Chains A and B, each alone.
Chain A
Amino acid sequence: MNSNKYLPFLVCGFGAAVLTTVPYIKSFTCCLIVPAAAFGALYLNLRVNNISTPIDIKKAILYGFLTGLTAAFFSSAFEILITYITHTNDFVESLPQTESLMRSLELGSLLDQTMGLLNNMSKDILATGFSLLYAFTITFSNLIIDSIFGIIGGVIGMSVINKRT
């Protein structure tokens, strides 16, 4: 088994996950982290495996997708782990503000149901550091969004790298 094939997207996906966990960096780079990681994975693949032929779009999409999946997996894991250790996170801290904003809009009974659900998640996190619903939500949304952004980054990366080489 050639491990060099898997290293680029694992390294870049992991790097992207670390960067998304650092609030200061995330506030500057935002939605560009995962596409940039996919770009990096393709470039790293060329360098590590000494490939000189143009990158195929299927490979670019696959690498982008796998980088996105890796980033989503690790970023969700980091978020869950940090929440478990600290017993708090952005969601818990911003919930009172969200609730007061929503209450000011006088939305009626549906708001109570929604806030009830969110409050239960918040209570679980504050008490045990873990909420299954919260963990599922962030993992699911990260997997979908990061893989899409990874594919976009992979295709753009392929276009740029092929033109350069």
Chain B
Amino acid sequence: MNNLFRHIIPHFLLLRIIFFLLILIWVFGFSLPFFIPIDQQTIILYQFFHKIYSGVCHQLEYKSISVFGYYFHVCARCSGIYIGAFIGSIISLFYLKQKHLKIKYFYIAAFPIIIDVLFQSLNISEYIKLSAFLTGIIFGFTVFIFFISAIENYFIVHKTNYSLNEFK
């Protein structure tokens, strides 16, 4: 079993590094104004990224986080989800042990974001960027862990004929 685990770990690490880099690029893209101030060279890049992210977010300024006077290309909730996934991807690089996550954690993580969205939809509360951001982080983090666990589970079960439970 130890040999098997040692054999699989590099593949998992590679997979997690790939996801980490992909999420890093995505997070860098929407927070571009924070890293690169808009000037003559970056104006086209800024417009391009703004258009790209318009497909996944409404980009309403009053719902977006602004840094140095420039707004992120996505709203506070989306920023939270992606940054949560990014935090998850960083942690997954250092914590390689496989976990068989229970479904209740997914529901627990989704609950705050659902409540937040519902309260705003029903005009029970105003849109609070911090609340949207924090609930997004919780959801994004959990979703990433589920995502990576689903893919790794597939490779373990289908490529090695071992169950995840055997790693416990």
Contact = CB atoms under 8 A, between A and B. Distances in A.
A164 B44 contact: no
Interface string B124-168: 000000000000000000010011011101100010000000000
A155 B37 CA distance: 36
A81 interface: no
Interface in A52-78: 57
A90 to B, nearest CB: 8
Q: Which secondary structure characterizes the binding site on chain B?
A: helix
B78 A31 contact: yes
Contact of B58 (A23, A141, A152): A23
A138 B50 CA distance: 12
A110 B44 contact: yes
A27 B63 contact: yes
A159 B143 CA distance: 10
A156 B39 CA distance: 40
Contacts of A105: 38-39, 43
Given A30-B78, A31-B74, A57-B151, A107 B40 contact: yes
What is the interface residue range for chain A against chain B? Answer: 20 to 34
A102 B47 CA distance: 10
Given A102-B43, A111-B43, A141 B51 contact: yes
Interface string A148-165: 010010011011100110
Nearest to A159: B150
Nearest to B55: A145
Nearest to A145: B55
Contacts of B57: 30-31
A57 B51 contact: no
Contacts of B4: none
A16 B153 CA distance: 29
Contacts of A145: 52, 55-56
Interface in A118-151: 118, 137-138, 141-142, 145-146, 149
A28 B120 contact: yes
22 contacts: A23-B58, A27-B60, A28-B120, A30-B56, A30-B77, A30-B78, A31-B56, A31-B74, A57-B158, A105-B38, A107-B38, A108-B40, A110-B41, A111-B40, A118-B47, A142-B55, A149-B56, A156-B146, A156-B147, A158-B150, A159-B150, A159-B153
Nearest 8 A-B pairs (CB), nearest first? Answer: A159-B150, A57-B154, A163-B103, A31-B56, A145-B55, A27-B58, A107-B40, A141-B55
Given A108-B40, A159-B150, A163-B103, 9 more contacts: A28-B120, A29-B117, A30-B58, A30-B77, A31-B57, A57-B150, A114-B43, A141-B52, A149-B56
